[in-house]
């Protein structure tokens, strides 16, 4: 049961905390640059994440309100499926306090409950937030999340020795204790953009206060590479053979994007599958859907089910359904 403890090679999860203007996005990109590999960014800041496109090469996906945990989870899974090495989430605070985030979800549940009890609402909503945390921690990518800090002002001496009000950050705008989920947490100063590691499991930055550069990411990468390679048997993760924004094809299943997130075609109604098979967004899944419907029809024919005839009719009518399906914008189902 027990064996000698060894540090394994891991995907590092990091948090950058700071008030508005402290340079979280800029620092995250420099950090990602040093970690190496393909970089993806989930941008909830109305496109501001793409302002630094001249800094390094990265792909960005804009997330728009409502900022439900499931939206973040789907974006994380998509980035992992597309083979990115580093994922930046800017900003994770929107999943908590943004429009449609956890706090708003709790408020709505409390308002619609008979008792108006927020305790019951938290009991229902907290598992959704836990799923988001798990998605971040368990994905096979380095993850850098940016979190806004609550703002306060304190009087500090400037270069001339005079007391002036300075904007400082307090706890990040997220669930209490969220910062302890990460391997490294950097608190970034607004005035000089110095980064202080308030939590550091690597031990690399215990006595360091400096601005973040690509060299910071390179140092972390070398620390990761110094760990023991994890065996494939222990850390095997199911990865799609082919994937795009709407479809994930596995050796034994096909997942398609619906309004509820990614679902197996095995769990969807026949009419929904027919629309997907005829829609260009789901072209990657067309063969899998048609094969699945054919197999289902054969099985039902053997059982004497009348639905088998209906399925056959739908498969034969796919070209006619295409015109109707093409008018659908976004996920079907």
Tell me the C-alpha distance between 90 and 58, whole Å.
13
Distance (Å, whole) CA 229 – CA 311: 49
Q: Provide CB contacts within 8 A for 119, sequence distance 6+.
A: none
pLDDT level of residue 325 (50, 70, 90 thresholds): very low
pLDDT tens for each residue of 139-197: 999 999 999 987 655 666 766 777 766 545 567 888 888 888 999 999 998 888 999 99
pLDDT for position 232: 39
Helix 307-316 / helix 318-325 crossing angle, nearest 10 deg? 70
pLDDT in tens, 85-105: 999 999 999 999 999 999 999
**Token match 């992992």: residue?**
80
Model confidence at 249, pLDDT cuts 50, 70, 90, reads confident
| The model's pTM | 0.66
> How crowded is residue 62: how many other Cβ atoms within 10 Å of its Cβ?
15
Mean pLDDT for 114-119 is 76
Q: 13 near 143, Cβ under 8 Å?
A: yes
Question: Which spans in 36-117 are helix H?
Answer: 69-81, 94-97, 102-112
């Amino acid at each position: 049961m027990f064996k000698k403890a060894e540090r394994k090679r891991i995907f590092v999860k990091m948090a950058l905390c700071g008030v508005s203007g402290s340079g979280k996005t800029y620092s995250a990109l420099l950090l990602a640059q040093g970690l190496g590999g393909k970089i993806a960014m989930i941008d909830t800041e109305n496109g501001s994440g793409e302002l630094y496109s001249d800094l390094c090469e990265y792909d960005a996906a804009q997330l728009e309100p409502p900022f439900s945990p499931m939206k973040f989870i789907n974006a994380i899974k998509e980035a992992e499926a597309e083979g990115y090495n580093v994922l930046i989430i800017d900003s994770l605070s929107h999943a908590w306090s943004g429009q449609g985030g956890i706090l708003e979800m709790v408020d709505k549940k409390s308002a619609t409950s008979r008792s108006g009890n927020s305790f019951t609402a938290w009991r229902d909503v907290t598992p959704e937030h836990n799923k988001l945390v798990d998605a971040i921690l368990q994905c096979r990518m380095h993850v850098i999340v940016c979190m806004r800090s609550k703002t306060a002002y304190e009087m500090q001496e400037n270069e001339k020795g005079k007391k002036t009000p300075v904007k400082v950050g307090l706890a990040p705008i997220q669930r209490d204790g969220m910062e302890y989920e990460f391997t490294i947490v950097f608190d970034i100063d607004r005035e000089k953009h110095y980064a202080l590691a308030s939590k550091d499991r690597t031990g690399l930055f215990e006595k360091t206060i400096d601005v973040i550069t690509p060299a910071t990411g390179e140092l972390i990468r070398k620390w990761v590479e110094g760990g023991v390679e994890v065996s494939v048997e222990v850390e095997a993760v199911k990865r799609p053979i082919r994937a795009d924004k709407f479809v994930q094809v596995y050796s034994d299943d096909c997942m398609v994007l619906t309004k509820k997130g990614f679902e197996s075609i095995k769990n969807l109604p026949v009419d929904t599958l027919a629309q997907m098979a005829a829609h260009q967004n789901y072209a990657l899944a067309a063969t899998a859907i048609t094969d699945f419907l054919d197999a289902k029809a054969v099985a039902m024919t053997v059982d004497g089910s009348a639905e088998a005839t209906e399925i056959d009719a739908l498969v034969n009518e796919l070209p006619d359904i295409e015109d109707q399906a093409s008018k659908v914008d976004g996920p079907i189902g």
